[in-house]
Amino acid sequence: MIELRAIYILWLREMKKFSRAKERIIGSVAMPFMFLAFLGFGFSSVQLPGLNAQLTYIRFLVPGIIGMNMLFSSMFAGISVLWDREFGFLKEIMVAPVSRTSIALGRIAGGATTGLMQGMMLFVLSFLMGFNMGHLSALRIMSGVLLMVFFMVMISLTFLALGLSFASNMRDAQGFELIINFVMFPLFFLSGAVAPIGNLPVWIRVFSYLNPLTYGVDGLRWALTGYSSFPVLIDLGLCSFSAFLMVSLASFFFERSEGV
């Protein structure tokens, strides 16, 4: 019970930090919303090669931008570990009578919840940009939204854990930001978020197939539009596997990290 209580307390801390930082809430949604507006309106009349003829570009783009939001918010959440280390909070929780794995899971749970909230806000705002699900039945819309939530959680868990893994092995916040930016943008552009991955050269497409975000975005696209590049069961399986693998690695690295 004490382990579960530790996870809950760390989750609650993240919720309170998020709810009290209004500028963080606005900023976390503003950038992906601008991507959605500029790309959605800018390419609204363009028929991209490889794009399903039944899809408008805005319908293709919205799942990709939601995936981008989950990626960016999750990866940068790892910087909180470095700030907690600098200000002494990490030292205090490291000496608590709970395992470091529970501490890592509490941070991941809090980050996943805030990421999910940001993703849902962006999903609602996307309807202002012309996105719609009117071609789907009411039952399919409900099941699609539930499936969207699942994929959002899996994306968030995967990249929260990746960010935490980096943070556990670093001590410099500026260095962390540089490394994260270096990792995030290739992951984003290789995922098929803004253009079909079939348009990429074959040798680059290999990296897309190794990218966990590719399957998260593809799953989101199937959930919201009914179209995808891979069978949805493959997306489900690979997203779940990548989330489990990265959370396990994050727990391992956090267990070995120094608290001071």
* pLDDT single digits (tens) 204-246: 889 999 999 999 999 999 999 888 889 999 999 999 999 999 9
The pLDDT value recorded for residue 260 is 43
Nearest of 235, 238, 187 to residue 211 by alpha carbon: 187
* pLDDT single digits (tens) 154-198: 999 999 888 888 877 777 767 777 888 888 889 998 998 888 888
Q: Is 258 exposed, middle or buried (0-12, 13-18, 19+ CB in 10 A)?
A: exposed
Q: What is the C-alpha to C-alpha distance for residues 143 and 2, in angstroms, rounded to an integer? A: 36
Nearest of 153, 2, 173, 23 to residue 90 by alpha carbon: 173
DSSP 91-133: HHHHTSSS-HHHHHHHHHHHHHHHHHHHHHHHHHHHGGGT---
Structure tokens at 34: 């601008």
Structure tokens at 129: 């940009």
* pLDDT single digits (tens) 52-95: 667 778 888 899 999 998 888 888 777 776 666 666 666 666 66
Q: Is 260 exposed, middle or buried (0-12, 13-18, 19+ CB in 10 A)?
A: exposed
DSSP state of 211: -
In contact, 207 and 224? CB cutoff 8 Å? no
Q: What proportion of the chain, given as a percentage, has pLDDT over 90?
A: 21
The pLDDT value recorded for residue 216 is 94
- Quote the pTM value: 0.88
